[in-house]
Amino acid sequence: MSSEDVIKSPSRSIKRTLLVFIGNAIGLYIIALIGWGVKVTYMDDILILVMIIGIVNSLFWPILTRIFMPFLVLTFGIGSLILNGVLLEILAPSFGINISGPGIILAPLSMAVVSTILSSLVTLDDQSTYYRSVIRDAKRKRPKESKKYPGLIVVEIDGLGHKILEEALEKDLMPTVKDLIDSKSHTLREWETDLSSQTGASQAGILHGNNEGITAFRWIEKSNDNAMMQCSGPKNVENLEKRISNGDGLLAENGASRSNLFSGDTDNVIFTLSKIMHIKKLYNPAWYSVFSNPSNFARIVVLLIWDMIQEIYSQITHWIFNIQPRINRGITYIGVRASTNVFMAEINTSTLIGDMMVGEVDIAYSTYLGYDEIAHHSGVRDKDAFNALKRMDKQINHLTNATKYTPRPYQLVIQSDHGQTNGATFKQRTGQSFEDLVKSLLPDDMSMYANMSSNEDHYTESLSPINIRRIKKEETTVEKTDSDVIVLASGNLAMIYLTQWSHRLTYEEMTSMFPDLIPGIVNNPLIGFIVVKSSENGDLAIGKNGTYYLDSGKIDGENPLEGFGKNIASHIKRNSSFEHTPDILVNSFYDSQKDEVCAFEELVGSHGGAGGDQSKPFILYPSTWDVSDEEIIGAESIYKILKENNKKLKNIK
């Protein structure tokens, strides 16, 4: 059977067409009334212009987007507004309408605003027009014979813990996901991250089957002139991928990477940080699905603006009602939140649907960052965070509906890379930063460098692939680490490096040279445990009232790892075996009754260390898959599950 026979086309919605026509007419009328670059002789002419522009777009927009696609991509979609405005500018004079200046952008934007509002008012979320436009291009690109075995789409909801997902399902915020579970088509499982519990370590393990050496979000390499390596920034992530990749990544065989840290060994990438500096890879045919409909990007801009308004409202209400814990989110975060929660989510879904409609890609992996970003700043159970999950469910619904029109079946996996745990920060609780505490315990003449932020969003960086200032900052990072003491943070996990020594200092060396350091940290009420290496006893986890000898399993006094999970000792042992593990690894307390940790960076919801849901993400996979009932421990185990079952799909006819 040929692909032409398999692909169906969604029915044309008269209601949708009429609604868009009315919305476009009202939107153009509003801009003309205000006088922002649109002048109209007779208002009736607007109706005729809107009708003609609709016909012209249906005939010529596919051709125009193919011609101007590089321009649309390099302008990150703004070019589509300009292109639409130019069409209006060219056609308008024939109907006694003049569009110029700001009207070129504002006219199509206003038309999209009104159409989107009207669609919301009548609860119309009809994607048939969008699907039809994508299918039109898919018929040109797809192979003559469709593949008979299913493909696989893997959706990652960044930062969503298993427990929070279950709460969202109970609140009926994610009906699409709930239907997958209730129908028994999919199986929901909790899995356990490695230490550290953050995207860099998890995606390295999931996409490449190897996260060896990634001790935290950011670390110091003493053997490399105290250079700083981190799971952020194009150069760093590209170098990390070279270290962890053996060429057999999850996406190596006809895969696609959409908005990830690492590529999974595919060159079919969009917004993938490890390859974002390869400008030629920035232009990808899958972008067509984003711009296939002339009003689609304008709709995304409208949703983006609305999300920014919601964030402003959220900041005001959190301040008025004194919601705690609370951090100063600032003005720039308003744009960051909207970019991750709306813009990147829409790009991900559009390009994935484009991949599915063509049917050539065997496996695609895409990360959605909205929940993680909001939970960091508002809290893991805040109304904003749950609203992000409600919106995420709509994206999943679009993907599942798209399978009705694909030339081959596609299976769906939904998973997360880690969770988050709430809590007021170290500085909020004590009035003193953690690095200041460390400095007070060392000689005054020792210089210190501290970097306590790990919330550098890789998607925001991806939006500026040729940001010279960012690159220069990366290149000068090594100079900043030329200090006697370096303190870094990754959520409620902190790292202390004493860089005057080229080796990892032992417990005995540190207690001899700096007798106040270890007792001063351990006895702080906000510290759960520290990890050091002893020349006599090997790896030690030390708490206020006891020591865990990790090599022998012996415990003196109280178990400092109590409450951090039954596998925490093995996670610490593995992390301690890495080449660049710090002299002192510090983990905050965990209060199981309040379900709280204490982040060393200024975030409400955090992850990176141990304690609570941050190390308990989930995976939702097809129930027909062959997955062991044993505990799923570590990101590399997720790689094996996905890799092995994806291979088995090729045997399905």
Q: How would residue 439 be classed by pLDDT, with cut points 50, 70 and 90? A: very high
Q: φ and ψ at 597, to 5 degrees?
A: -120, -175
What is the per-residue pLDDT for 464?
Answer: 41
What are the tokens at 312?
């402003």
Closest to 207 in 3D by CA, of 132, 275, 144:
275
- Rg (the chain; Cα; Å): 27
Average pLDDT value for residue range 475-484: 60
Domain layout of the chain by residue ranges: 3-121, 426-606
pLDDT digits (tens, 9 = 90+) for 77-136: 787 878 888 888 888 888 888 888 888 888 888 888 887 777 666 544 556 666 776 777
Q: From CA 414, how far away is CA 450, in angstroms rounded?
A: 36
Q: How would residue 471 be classed by pLDDT, with cut points 50, 70 and 90? A: very low
What is the per-residue pLDDT for 452?
Answer: 87
Range in 208-217, 410-419, 447-456, 467-476 the model is least confident about:
467-476
What is the per-residue pLDDT for 521?
Answer: 98
Q: From CA 520, how far away is CA 517, in angstroms rounded?
A: 5
Question: What letter would DSSP give residue 224?
Answer: G
Average pLDDT value for residue range 421-429: 97
Q: From CA 116, how far away is CA 601, in angstroms rounded?
A: 39
Higher pLDDT pick, 455 / 219: 219
Question: Is the pLDDT at 479 greater than 60, yes or no?
Answer: no
What is the per-residue pLDDT for 469?
Answer: 45
Range in 124-128, 499-503, 513-517 the model is least confident about:
124-128
Average pLDDT value for residue range 444-461: 73
Closest to 497 in 3D by CA, of 489, 577, 607:
489
Contact partners, residue 29, CB within 8 Å, separation at least 6 = 43, 46
Question: Is the pLDDT at 468 greater than 70, yes or no?
Answer: no
Question: Is the pLDDT at 15 greater than 90, yes or no?
Answer: no
Closest to 125 in 3D by CA, of 303, 253, 359, 256:
303
Closest to 294 in 3D by CA, of 68, 10, 449, 631:
68
Q: Which residue has the tokens 């050091």?
A: 532
Average pLDDT value for residue range 34-39: 85
Query: Residue 157, by phi and psi: left (phi above 0), alpha (psi -120 to 50) or beta?
Result: beta
Average pLDDT value for residue range 514-518: 97
Burial of 227 (0-12, 13-18, 19+ CB in 10 A): middle
Helices (H), 321-380: 332-338, 344-358, 370-378
Average pLDDT value for residue range 566-576: 97
Q: What is the DSSP string of 247-301?
A: S--TTTTTEEEES-SS-SS-S-EES-GGGTT-HHHH--GGGHHHHSSTTHHHHHH
Burial of 447 (0-12, 13-18, 19+ CB in 10 A): exposed
What is the per-residue pLDDT for 21?
Answer: 82
Q: Which amino acid is at 544?
A: K
Closest to 536 in 3D by CA, of 525, 552, 524:
552
Please report, rounded to a whole number, the percentage of residues in the chain having pLDDT higher than 70: 90
pLDDT digits (tens, 9 = 90+) for 141-182: 777 788 989 999 999 999 999 999 999 999 999 999 999 999
Q: From CA 642, how far away is CA 203, in angstroms rounded?
A: 13
Question: Is the pLDDT at 461 greater than 50, yes or no?
Answer: no
**Contact between residue 159 and residue 416 where contact means Cβ atoms under 8 Å apart:** yes
Higher pLDDT pick, 17 / 223: 223
Average pLDDT value for residue range 40-52: 83
Question: Is the pLDDT at 325 greater than 80, yes or no?
Answer: yes
What are the tokens at 350?
């559009």
**Contact between residue 206 and residue 193 where contact means Cβ atoms under 8 Å apart:** no
Average pLDDT value for residue range 605-611: 96
pLDDT digits (tens, 9 = 90+) for 384-410: 999 999 999 999 999 999 998 899 999
Q: Please tell me the pTM assigned to this model.
A: 0.90
Strand, coil or helix: what is 600?
coil
What are the tokens at 417?
């890379």
